[in-house]
Amino acid sequence: RKEVEQDPGPFNVPEGATVAFNCTYSNSASQSFFWYRQDCRKEPKLLMSVYSSGNEDGRFTAQLNRASQYISLLIRDSKLSDSATYLCVVNIGNQGGKLIFGQGTELSVKP
């Protein structure tokens, strides 16, 4: 089983749609969770950290379910500029700073 699993997509949605990405992780000792965004042929960039109570940043909402070892990212009112690959990222407990990246979910927002 992969340490971090995501649906690779692609998700093709119209502008204005709401889209949700899911991610599961296998290491119950994980303590830190992130969503990164990667544009085509560019480097990954931090989109948001995921806190245990869930957190929101504008149109983006992240949620964490530790019991189910599940993380989600919700994007409301999708924009063309949201088209990218979204990477679910998890630390692996006590290995100080080492992160595991999911393979990413590709999102394409169409006019």
Q: Interface with another protein by CB under 8 A: which residues?
A: 31-32, 34, 42-46, 49, 87, 91, 96-99, 101-104
In the bound state with another protein, the residue whose beta carbon lies nearer, of 17 and 99, is 99
Cβ-contact 75, 44 below 8 angstroms = no
Q: How far is the CB of 81 from another protein (least distance, A)?
A: 19
Which residues make Cβ contacts (< 8 Å) with residue 7, sequence separation at least 6? 21, 22, 105
At closest approach, how far in Å is the CB of 91 from another protein?
5
> In terms of Cα–Cα distance, which of 107, 109, 95, 110 is closest to 47?
107
Nearer to another protein, 43 or 81 (CB): 43
- Shorter beta-carbon distance to another protein: residue 19 or 37: 37
